[in-house]
Amino acid sequence: MLLTSASSVAVGGFLSTQIAGALYDQRFDQFSAEATSELTRYKAVFRDSPATDRDTISRLVLDSVTALAGNDTDSPREAILAPISGEEIVIPTTSSQKGATARMLPQDLQAAIADGEDIYWSPIVIPVTKSGEVEAPGVAFGTRVTLPPEQTPYALYVFYDLSTMQDTLNYIQRVLAISGLILLVMIGAIAWYVTRSVVRPVSHAAAVSEKLAAGQLQERMEVSGEDEVARLGVSFNHMAGSLQDQINQLAQLSQMQQRFVSDVSHELRTPLTTVRMAAEVLHDAREDFDPINRRSAEILFDQVERFQALLADLLEISRFDAGAATLEAESVDIVQLVQHAIDGAWPLSERLGSEVSIISTEASCIVDADARRIDRILRNLIVNALEHGEGEPVDIHIACSPEAVAVAVRDHGIGMTEDQASRVFDRFWRADAARARTTGGSGLGLSIATEDARLHRAWLQAWGEPGQGSCFRLTLPRHQDIDLASSPVALPPAPISVAASAGAVGISRSAADDSRQAGADGRIQEAQEVGQRRETP
């Protein structure tokens, strides 16, 4: 509509200008020829007049000025005889129209006539015409004449009233404006109709697309007619049908795969239990075997354990895929869970020579969580930190806030790139496929940890830099009705200085060794040494 309006204004302005120019040029040529002829004739009349007295000259001037006026109703013509400034006045200014004076004539025109002998012209504004028009447009022609007997110079003017022509132009402009407005309304109505005819099916298609994206695969477009929009609707419905068939096939295939994994895992449990029992018998009796058979029994026992762990992970993943995993939340102390996880990973940390330490100002952090699943997450994170820590210390940061509890496991080993950190929770994914696993994990630990965290409405995030180590942060809501907005622990945690660690609780593996040797039940006992924590790398 804006473009059409601008086009209408431009076309109307162009047509109005062209019509006005053509009409003015045509009438100006007519006026110029007529005025030139009359002025030349009366110039000769004044020059050749034998009048010698003032009365005769006055009668001659009045008759000439009256004769010069025309009564053409299209463009009336009037005449004025005025003395040239600075000359002796013989006859005062004489005009064929009452009220018309030389002051209405442009100064440039008067100066040109006073200095020259040719016929000059100029556009003027007529204050009041005979018909009563005010400020009417006009055009004036003038020349220099001489009055007898002394050949006194005067200026003789004829001017034409162009108000009728201006009225015609105004009428044409009104017609163009009304025509443009009507054309604009018609174009707007046509555009509205065409736009609705096109946009309504497109809007309907967008709504159907949103429903399809939301999972309502049975939604289709309503098709009517045989135009291009109808063809679009038919093609859209065909595409939606094809997508529905393919999605249903993929869903069925996914269900079959999940059922197959679950069934196979369950079916393998019984024979695997039997094989494990046999492997344990052989492993316990390996001292009586020759070296080759002894090594074979040890390998068999290790691989059966790995197979059993893989089978357990597959069963857990199948429960998540089937939506059968449930959360049994209760009030637990996250600090005790961390200590229990460290205790479970103690054999690996002792073998690798890595010290595991807790860095926290909290002696206890209570959270509503499933203790078994949180313990599994923590154990997995600690084992991974030990495996990839290259024998460096592993720090476990614990912090609480009124809304959340966070545990960050920080190692100083080989680290990860940003791309590896974004894929580390994928199933069976390894940063380095050629790297040998120390403990022979299944590759599903972090995937299961992610699902456990999702059940708790928690965050499980990873960070790493090559050569600087990596950090995994678990953030749990204190209660299940809380939506997490931030974590009490930064990722990665800021280094703890000696001065800042004066209020920290330091729990190392050596304290657990002492408690184990003292006959404790295997859980790491809390050892608080305010201001005496071992220096952290």
Q: What is the mean pLDDT of residues 117-139?
A: 86
Q: pLDDT digits over 334-391, tens only?
A: 999 999 989 888 888 888 888 999 998 888 889 999 888 898 899 889 998 998 888 8
Q: What is the mean pLDDT of the chain?
A: 80
| Bridge-based pairing state of the strands 404-410 and 469-477 | antiparallel
Q: What domains lie within the chain, and their CATH numbers?
A: 1-172 (3.30.450), 220-325 (1.10.287), 327-520 (3.30.565.10)
Beta bridge partners of 152: 147
Cβ(354)–Cβ(389) below 8 Å: yes
On the 0-12 / 13-18 / 19+ scale of CB atoms within 10 A, 501 is buried
- The CB density around residue 291, as the number of other CB atoms within 10 Å, is 8
Q: 491: closest CA among 459, 463, 465, 468?
A: 463
Q: 83: closest CA among 162, 182, 178, 153?
A: 153
Q: Residue 432 corresponds to which tokens in the numbers above?
A: 């380095």
Q: Tell me the C-alpha distance between 260 and 267, whole Å.
A: 10
Q: 390: closest CA among 354, 435, 366, 364?
A: 354
Task: Say which amino acid occupies 78.
Answer: E
pLDDT of residue 399: 92
Q: pLDDT digits over 242-272, tens only?
A: 888 888 888 787 777 767 766 776 677 778 7
Q: Tell me the C-alpha distance between 379 and 387, whole Å.
A: 12
Q: What is the mean pLDDT of residues 517-530?
A: 32
Beta bridge partners of 360: 505
- C-alpha angle 493/499/502, rounded to 5°? 85
| Bridge-based pairing state of the strands 394-400 and 356-360 | parallel
DSSP letter at 221 equals -
Place of tokens 């050596």: 510
Locate all alpha helices (DSSP H) within 129-227, ordered by sequence.
163-213
